[in-house]
Each structure stands twice: as structure tokens, then as C-alpha cells.
């Protein structure tokens, strides 16, 4: 890979004048919001009172962010010249940036404003590497303050309590989520950064006792491990108020239902190390809407497209902070709408497939049912319908198998769900060059492997047949399509010997 380090030379008088005009225009658009939104309380006010008329302001500010970077960021100037877009004036005229065509081509310094990286207060995060090679991402102090404010405002809105105690169970290494969550939560709650250590979390709950409003922040699979471990220990759940805040990967409603048998509620946030933490967040309304989509084909056709069988995560997002678009391939583009971003993120394509809808569009689709779906933490923000990474599937018999659909089948109504530590998918080659999908299960405890495999196979087949027309049609045309393989592995064995991160990997090769 060629690594370029374009140098930002002195600005011409024309460029300096353009920069001044852009700065004035930017503040005229969102200056009042920038000044006011420094406090979590103001963030909550904006979330509750957002008006669709502000979408126009957000779109203009996204365009200005690209124009600013065309002047201030050496890599982006070079990138635009390479795409013949150095004179772009409309937002759509600025080309998409990706990890491959931008972050992987230009070094960290050249992607910074004014080509300057080293300064006090800069934090270097690292992506988990779940999609391949880990990348480094830098964030400046002003940018981090905004991230902390957004996260704190959301937690206070969705998890109200007079004695908030956040147990931060995200990994505490260089990954952005763990350290950022701990610092942000300290603004509005008591915090203990345990990391993903079950014993430390149990000790913390027992030591401080039931007099707090606990929120455990973790990846979804780890929250399941915590529930199962506490159940094994005979933990007195009714004496405690414990809620769950998850992120880092998608979560099915089957897993949420399983967790909420113990946790008071579980809500998810959406972010990406490439972009920012807390781009979107669930509320009671978005969860109810998602559950409704699972059973209402008419509503699914209207909001997701005719015949769409997948069930996306649904998040509220603030266009004044993160302006989102959908390209012609159905992929999500994000522009961070702030000049405080050390490395501007401009029409960045992280590889997630999604849909966007205003609250008015959702209201119209729901009709008379709309009002009854609201809960106390009401947000007036538009909605992001997120399917996840576009390449996270196994193609089989003309159908695409998604990890989230497999997870539904594994956990929904399964009496042995507590024995499943995690799962991943692979393909197995049979004689005659045929392939069959394999569901690899990592299990713990004393459980009959044959019985577990049989229940899981039937559960996954039943769910896939219900939600995937392509798979159901394959079963009718060829009954051998039901030959899903389930392989049981002990802890840390088989394909799981190579999967050590807390953030799960759901597709593996050569399992």
C-alpha cells in the first residue's frame, strides 16, 4: 500500500478568504446550538424538541464541513484532486471516503486539520480488527468533550436514577468504547471500570449492595455471560435495580428478551471506531417499533422496502451532530458535523447497510398506533434502520443467512440457552463439491450435546423459514436444504481458539 503524506502549504489569499467565509457561515447555521449543547441537559432538550426543519441546516453544515476540509486537511485536498472534485459545491459532489480509499492510503497526520497531529489531549483509539487489520483513530480534546456530552445526555435520558452507578464492562485496552464510556459516564454517575471481568462485577454488586441504580455497559454477548453467571451463583435479582447498556455489535430481540428476564431493561447504542461513539441510540419507542416490524409485514414493506426479510436495529440519531445519507447501494454515509473533529469524517462509508426515516414518515406508517408506542424518554429525532455490515452473510441455496437470524433461532424458547457461550458460522465442503452451513457453538456446563444440537438446529430452521422467503422456498424445492450442521465445541476449542476478543466474530473460514 502506498502511504502518502501531502503537505499543506501556505494558504493563498483566496483560500484564506474562503476559509473565513466558511467559518462565518458555519456559525450562522449552528453556532447557537454549538454553544448551548455543551451540557448534557441541553443535549436532552434538543433530542426531545428536534424539528424536521433542522434537517436542511444539518445538510448545509455537512456540505460546509467538506468545504472546510478541502482547505484545511492536506489528505482531503489531495483526495479531492485525485477524484476531480476539488471545486465541488454540492454535498453529493464530494466523493465517498472509505477505509480503503482514504484512511488506508493517507497517514494519520495528513488526515488531521492543518496536517497537525501531535498535541496535548489527543487520544489514540484502535478499532477491534473484526473486519481485518486494526486501524488507529485519533481524537482531539474538543471532539472528545462533545462525545462525552452526548453519551452522558443519553444515559441520563434513557436510564434515569438518583443514584446512578455505571459498571463499565467494555474492554479497557486501546479500543475506543471502553475508555470513552468510562470517562463520559463519570460526568453524570459513579463509575467503576471493571472491564469484562465477571468476578470483579459480581464483587462490585455484592460490595456496594442494592442501594444504587446500576447500569452495566458491555457487549451483548458479555451481558449474557453475566446474567448466566449471576444465575448460577443464586444472585438476588429482585433486590437490585440493574439495567444494561450494550454496543459494539447488533443484538436480536430474542437475546434482549432473554436478558430482560433479569435486567430491568437493555438498550443499545450505535457507533464505529472509524467515525465516533454514540452516533445513534435506542429508546423504548425504537425497541417497540422493532418488535412491531418483526410481526407486521405491511409495516416492514412500507418502511424497509417490499419483500425485505431482515429485521434491522433501530436508532434515533441527531443530524446536527452526525449527518447521515444512504447511497445508491443502500450503504450508510456519515459526515461528522463539527469543526472540532481532529480528523474530519466526510461522507464516510463504514460498510453498513441501512435505511433512514423521519419521525413523520414513521408516524404516517404506524397510523393510529403511533401515540401508544411512546415511552417516557421520548426523542423527537429521526430514525436509522441499521442492517449491519453488508458482507456479514453466508449464501446458501440462493438465500443469505444472517448471524442475527441464527441468533434468534438459538435463543428463542431454548431451555439450554444459558449453556451457549457464543456462536459463529462457517461453510463445510462435502464430497461432490457441495457446501453446507455450519453453526459452531461454544458451550459450557454439563449439557447433552446431541440434545442441544437438535434443539438449536430446529430453532434456527424454524426462524429462517419464517423470516426468509428465499430459505423457505429452498426448503420446498429441495428438502436437503434443511441440512444445517451444528457443531459443539468446549470453551476455547475449535474456531473459538482463534477468537479472543470480547467483540464476537460471527463468520469464520476453515472452522
Mean pLDDT of 307-314: 86
| Backbone φ and ψ of 472, nearest 5° | -60, -40
Tell me, what's the pLDDT at 1? Answer: 39
Residue corresponding to grid cell 476559509: 19
pLDDT band at 242 (very low <50, low <70, confident <90, very high): very high
The beta-carbon contacts of 199-205 under 8 Å, at least 24 apart in sequence, are: 201/167, 201/169, 201/226, 202/229, 202/230, 202/233, 202/235, 204/167, 205/167, 205/235, 205/240, 205/242
CA distances from 508 to 220, 275, 410 (A): 19, 26, 18
Residue 103's CB: how many other CB atoms inside 10 A?
21
Stretch (H or E) spanning 42:
helix 40-49
pLDDT, tens digit, 9 for 90 and up, residues 436-479: 788 999 998 888 999 999 999 999 888 888 877 667 766 775 57
Taking 80 as the threshold, does the pLDDT of residue 10 lie above it?
A: no
Looking at residue 420, its pLDDT comes to 92
Is it the case that residue 25 has pLDDT exceeding 70?
no
Q: What is the pLDDT of residue 250?
A: 79
> For position 126, what pLDDT does the model report?
75
- Burial degree of 187 (CB within 10 A; 0-12, 13-18, 19+): middle
pLDDT number for residue 133? 63
More confident residue, 76 or 377: 76
What angle is formed at CA 12 by the lines to CA 9 and CA 13, rounded to 5 degrees? 150
Q: What is the pLDDT of residue 23?
A: 58
Kindly state the helix (H) or strand (E) to which residue 182 belongs, with its residue range: helix 176-185
Beta strands in 364-433 (DSSP E): 383-389, 394-396, 399-401, 420-430
Cβ-contact 260, 352 below 8 angstroms: no
Residue 507 DSSP code: B
Confidence category of residue 484, pLDDT binned at 50, 70, 90: confident
Lowest mean pLDDT: which of 7-16, 407-416, 499-508? Answer: 7-16
Q: Does pLDDT of 175 surpass 60?
A: no
The larger pLDDT score, comparing residue 279 to residue 434, is at 279
Q: Which are the contacts of 236, defined by CB distance < 8 A and separation ≥ 6?
A: 210
The tens digit of pLDDT for each residue in 47-60 reads 888 888 888 889 98
| Cβ 419 vs Cβ 447: under 8 Å | yes
Mean of all residue pLDDT scores within the chain: 83
Give the pLDDT confidence of 389-448 residue by residue, as tens digits.
766 667 665 566 778 888 888 988 899 999 999 898 887 766 655 567 889 999 988 889
Residue 38 has pLDDT above 70, yes or no: no
Centre a 10 Å sphere on the Cβ of residue 269 and count the other Cβ atoms it contains.
Answer: 23
Nearest alpha carbon to residue 322 among 304, 290, 344, 355: 344
Top-confidence residue, 46 or 187:
187
Q: What is the model's pLDDT at position 2?
A: 42
Say yes or no to pLDDT of 171 above 90: no
Please determine, for residue 482, whether its predicted confidence score (pLDDT) is greater than 90.
no
Q: Is the pLDDT of residue 91 over 90?
A: yes
Per-residue confidence (pLDDT) for residue 147, from 0 to 100: 84
When mean pLDDT is compared across 2-6, 274-278, 364-368, the lowest value belongs to: 2-6
Q: Bigger pLDDT: 346 or 339?
A: 346
Query: Looking at per-residue confidence, does 245 or 340 come out higher?
Result: 245
pLDDT at 238: 97
Amino acid at each position: 500500500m502506498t502511504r502518502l503524506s501531502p503537505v499543506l502549504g501556505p494558504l493563498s489569499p483566496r483560500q484564506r478568504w474562503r476559509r473565513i467565509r466558511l467559518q462565518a457561515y458555519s456559525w450562522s447555521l449552528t453556532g447557537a446550538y454549538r454553544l448551548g449543547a455543551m451540557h448534557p441537559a441541553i443535549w436532552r432538550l434538543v433530542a426531545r424538541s428536534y424539528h424536521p426543519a433542522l434537517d436542511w441546516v444539518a445538510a448545509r453544515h455537512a456540505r460546509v464541513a467538506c468545504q472546510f476540509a478541502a482547505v484545511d486537511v492536506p489528505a482531503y485536498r489531495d483526495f479531492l484532486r485525485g477524484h476531480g472534485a476539488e471545486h465541488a459545491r454540492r454535498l453529493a459532489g464530494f466523493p465517498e471516503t472509505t477505509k480503503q480509499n482514504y484512511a488506508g492510503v493517507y497517514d494519520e497526520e495528513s488526515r488531521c486539520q492543518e496536517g497537525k497531529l501531535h498535541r496535548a489531549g489527543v487520544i489514540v483509539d484502535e478499532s477491534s480488527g473484526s473486519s481485518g487489520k486494526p486501524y488507529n483513530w485519533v481524537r482531539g480534546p474538543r471532539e472528545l468533550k462533545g462525545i462525552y456530552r452526548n453519551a452522558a445526555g443519553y444515559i441520563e435520558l434513557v436510564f434515569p436514577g438518583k443514584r446512578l452507578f455505571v459498571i463499565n464492562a467494555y474492554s479497557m485496552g486501546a479500543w475506543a468504547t471502553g475508555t470513552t464510556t468510562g470517562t463520559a459516564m463519570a460526568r453524570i454517575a459513579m463509575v467503576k471500570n471493571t472491564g469484562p471481568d465477571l468476578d470483579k462485577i459480581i464483587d462490585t454488586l455484592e460490595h456496594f449492595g442494592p442501594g444504587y441504580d446500576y447500569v452495566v455497559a458491555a457487549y451483548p454477548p458479555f451481558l449474557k455471560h453475566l446474567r448466566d453467571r449471576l444465575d448460577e451463583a443464586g444472585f438476588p435479582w429482585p433486590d437490585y435495580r440493574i439495567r444494561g447498556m450494550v454496543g459494539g455489535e447488533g443484538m436480536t430481540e430474542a437475546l434482549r428478551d432473554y436478558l430482560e428476564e433479569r435486567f430491568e431493561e437493555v438498550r443499545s447504542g450505535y457507533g464505529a471506531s472509524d467515525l465516533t461513539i454514540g452516533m445513534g441510540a435506542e429508546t423504548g419507542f425504537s425497541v417497540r417499533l422493532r418488535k412491531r416490524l418483526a410481526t407486521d409485514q405491511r409495516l416492514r414493506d412500507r418502511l424497509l422496502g417490499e419483500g425485505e426479510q431482515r429485521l434491522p436495529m433501530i436508532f434515533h440519531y441527531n443530524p446536527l451532530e452526525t449527518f447521515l445519507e444512504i447511497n445508491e447501494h443502500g450503504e450508510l454515509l456519515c459526515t461528522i458535523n463539527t469543526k472540532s473533529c481532529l480528523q474530519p469524517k466526510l461522507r464516510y462509508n463504514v460498510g453498513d447497510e441501512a435505511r433512514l426515516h423521519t419521525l413523520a414518515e414513521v408516524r404516517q406508517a404506524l397510523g393510529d398506533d403511533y401515540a401508544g408506542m411512546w415511552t417516557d424518554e421520548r426523542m423527537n429525532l429521526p430514525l436509522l434502520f441499521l442492517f449491519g455490515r453488508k458482507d456479514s452473510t453466508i449464501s446458501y441455496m440462493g438465500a443469505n443467512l444472517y448471524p442475527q437470524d441464527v441468533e434468534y433461532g438459538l435463543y428463542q424458547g431454548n431451555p439450554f440457552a444459558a449453556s451457549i457461550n457464543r456462536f459463529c458460522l462457517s461453510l463445510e465442503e462435502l464430497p461432490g463439491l457441495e457446501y453446507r452451513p455450519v453453526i459452531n457453538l461454544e458451550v459450557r456446563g454439563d449439557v447433552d450435546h446431541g440434545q442441544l444440537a437438535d434443539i438449536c438446529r430446529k430453532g434456527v430452521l424454524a426462524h429462517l423459514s419464517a423470516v426468509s422467503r428465499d430459505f423457505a422456498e429452498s426448503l420446498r424445492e429441495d428438502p436437503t436444504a434443511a441440512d444445517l450442521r451444528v457443531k459443539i465445541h468446549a470453551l476455547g476449542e475449535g474456531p473459538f481458539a482463534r477468537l479472543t476478543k470480547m467483540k464476537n466474530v460471527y463468520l469464520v473460514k476453515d472452522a
